[in-house]
Amino acid sequence: MEHLKKGLAGESKACDYLIEKGYGIVERNYRSGKGEIDIIAFKDICYYFIEVKYRKNNRYGYPEDFVNKKKFQMVQQTAEAYILQHDWHGRIRFDVIAITGEEEPVHMEDITL
């Protein structure tokens, strides 16, 4: 349960960061039969599908190290479901926001694995 609370707190911090940068938060924890996307945001006529990774510290690795190919493929498939559901034909991008403890979020843009 504590793990879930920390994850939600990390997502909230990521949302605050995105709003500060001019993104609109469209959905949080969007689910389809393929999986879940932490944050779907919109800015400059583009949908952003964002995976958030939070770690208390870097003792066991950086948060972004925990986004592997399998996880990325799940995010892509879930994004496809969202795009079809909303009949979107415009630009999309996949990002990761990594948060360690109380440090500022690290925003990795336009990722591919």
Q: What is the pLDDT of residue 3?
A: 58
* pLDDT for the residue 91: 97
pLDDT along the chain (113 residues), means of 10: 66 96 98 94 97 78 70 93 96 93 88 74
Q: Is CATH 3.40.1350.10 what the domain over 2-108 is classified as, yes or no?
A: yes
CA 47 from chain centre, in angstroms, equals 12
- What is the DSSP code (8-state) at residue 82? H
User: SS3 for 54-65, per residue?
Assistant: EECCCCCCCHHH
Q: pTM, whole model, 2 decimals?
A: 0.89
